A and B are shown apart, each in its own frame.
Chain A
Amino acid sequence: MERDDPIEAPAARRGDRAPGEPRNVAWLYLLPGLAFYLLFTLGPLLHTAWLSLFDWDGLTAGRWVGLANYREALGDPLVHDAFRHSAELVVFYALLPIAIGLLLTAMLTRRPVLGFSGFRAVLFLPQIIAGVVVAQAWVWIYADQGPLNEFLRTIGLGALARPWLGSFTWALPAIGVIGTWVTYGLCMVLFIAGVQKIPTSLYDAARVDGAGPVREFFAVTLPGLRNEIVVAFVLTTINALRSFDIIYNTNQGGPGTQTYVPSLYVYQNAFVYNRVGYAAAIAVLLAAAILAVALLVIRVGGDRR
């Protein structure tokens, strides 16, 4: 997406940067927006890191503890659980949607599909609905007398019916399926846009070589979508690492701590248990995990451009 300035090459040759000389007037346009960003986004991010070095209850004076909060977090079994749950959610939020997205893409790109833009609009819908609303919809689906259990009873599998979000075994996968539902349309739309950029000559060549649809998919489509797959992976993984809205509004990390995730732990430590410094340390760990995923993508996906 990031395009190089078209003027850049010739201008660089002149020992000058396009367009024309560096212009200080740029700061005039930049400053108002930058001020908001620095004060209310970047500033607080750095402030979080600073707070993580204190033992602070939010009321009395804080006490400098250095990296003690991080040491405690790394040894805290709940923190381990929270990050492990997040990793499991990545399977549902990222891997499954990408697999479904690829399957749909493979089917959609082999021939013109009637009503394509309608399909696209419908599949994308879950993306735009508020997490709180999504949570309510799925709380009902998973409810004791809700559609899922009623369906199981109707087809004679009533023995499998259970309160899904309250089950120690099934709560986390149940949350994961919500994530899959939210993200698979996004993956598909991303991949379809990507396929349109693959030169048709590659498909023609594959067909001339007698490749069937499956070979064609693995030889042409999949490699051609590499960048899009990486991008989808990052976006959906970030979603998985957050997942606060949905978990807070379904089972709040329960039953027990079965669906505890880092963002929930940050919230509870900071605003329920008043362990502000400790919460900040976990927030920093969460941010570091997100940044690591994002940087990984720039690494892996960037070298082909």
Chain B
Amino acid sequence: MTASRIDRVVTYGVLAAFAIGALYPALSILSLALHTRNDLVTGFAFPTDPKLDSFRAAWDQADFATGFRSSLLVATTVTAVSAALSIGTGYAFGTMRFRGDRLVFNLMLLGIVFPFEASVIPLYYDFKWAGLLNTYWALILPQIGQSVAFGTFWMRAYFLSTPRALTDAARMDGASTFRVLTEVLLPQARPALLTLCALVFTYTWNEFLLALVLVSGDPDKQTAPLALSFFAGAERAGDPTKVAAAAVLVAMPVVIVYIVLQRHFIRGMLAGAIKE
């Protein structure tokens, strides 16, 4: 009896310890951000008198109005376009047979494995040649390419899981492939699509290397993470509370999406993980 109680205490104790470990860095930077420089924070000081001054200062000094606008524009465009394209590719791989389907699908899986480190050099020089360096296009196009790779894999799995009888019946009634897609399959695809959109939005919002290489020449195009990186580099020795506030601001949109769509996130990341 007591042994089992000790057991339970240990279980919850260890779990709580790791949960606190996961939360601590986030809470610590949030707490730092709620101070101002004059508070001379050290360690983990709980803000007795939380102030938003650092947030205001960071927002203005790091020019987050620009950064957030760029990030929002790039992330929503990439999410919407790659979701639409992935519906098409997933539909083709998930419900149809055609010459070379296996080969093309495996080719697209490669795109999920390789990071932008492996393609950023030619992207820079090709966009420079095309006059697209320091434009939103330079961020949007490659991220659509990579998101379509993941989206194809994800939507294919969805279409494979839809009951075959459903499409067969519709086809028997003489529905075109387009009508089968839009009237039979897509209405039920909302959860799968929502997961895909949440993941692509998060990845795109968080992307750093591409922004650093492709748009750092134009302050008007910089994304929120890039603005944070520059701001932190300039301000760290000066006022850490402002850097902390800036970091919290950049994380905020994704954390909000995560809190709202938590189940979708975890499901999607797991499925993405067990893709092989």
Q: Which residues of A contact B (CB under 8 A)?
A: 1-3, 5-7, 17-27, 29-30, 32-34, 36-37, 39-45, 47-48, 51, 58, 100, 103-104, 107-108, 110-111, 113, 119-141, 143, 145-147, 149-151, 154, 181, 184-186, 189-190, 193, 227-228, 231-232, 234-235, 238, 242, 244-245, 248-249, 262-263, 266-267, 270-271, 276, 279-280, 283-284, 286-287, 290-291, 294, 297-298, 301-302
Contact = CB atoms under 8 A, between A and B. Distances in A.
Contacts of B202: 128
A26 B255 contact: no
Nearest to A120: B266
Contact of A147 (B44, B121, B265, B273): B44
Given A29-B88, A145-B43, 17 more contacts: A1-B275, A23-B97, A32-B85, A33-B151, A37-B152, A39-B141, A40-B146, A128-B206, A130-B206, A133-B251, A137-B29, A189-B270, A228-B274, A231-B274, A244-B117, A263-B209, A283-B118
B97 A48 contact: no
Contacts of A248: 208, 212, 229
Contacts of A58: 125
B97 A302 contact: no
A262 B51 CA distance: 41
A177 to B, nearest CB: 10
Contact of A104 (B14, B42, B92, B144): B14
Contact of B258 (A20, A21, A125, A286): A125
A276 B232 CA distance: 28
B164 A22 contact: no
Contacts of A125: 22-23, 26, 255, 258
A270 B271 CA distance: 35
A124 B266 contact: yes
B142 to A, nearest CB: 5
A206 to B, nearest CB: 17
Given A37-B111, A290-B113, A24 B145 contact: no
B42 A51 contact: no
B213 A267 contact: yes
A44 B107 CA distance: 14
A107 B125 contact: no
A238 B273 CA distance: 12
Contacts of B236: 139
Given A30-B89, A181-B25, A140 B145 contact: no
A35 to B, nearest CB: 9
A121 B276 CA distance: 25
Given A6-B164, A107-B11, A119 B121 contact: no
B255 A129 contact: yes
Interface residues of B, number: 103
22 contacts: A23-B177, A29-B92, A29-B96, A30-B92, A30-B93, A30-B104, A33-B89, A40-B142, A40-B144, A41-B149, A42-B110, A44-B120, A44-B142, A45-B114, A107-B15, A113-B12, A133-B225, A145-B41, A181-B25, A231-B274, A244-B209, A266-B120
B226 to A, nearest CB: 8
Contacts of A150: 42-44
A17 B96 CA distance: 9
A141 to B, nearest CB: 6
Contact of A193 (B26, B107, B209, B270): B270
A279 B25 contact: no
B6 interface: no
Contact of B250 (A27, A132, A190): A132
Interface of B: 8, 10-12, 14-15, 18-19, 21-23, 25-26, 28-29, 32, 41-44, 82, 85-86, 88-89, 91-93, 95-99, 101, 104, 107-108, 110-111, 113-115, 117-126, 141-142, 144-146, 148-149, 151-152, 157, 160-161, 164, 167-168, 177, 181, 202, 205-206, 208-209, 212-213, 225-226, 228-229, 232, 236, 240, 243-244, 246-248, 250-251, 254-255, 258, 262, 265-266, 269-271, 273-276
Contacts of A122: 19, 22-23
Contacts of B18: 100, 104, 123, 184
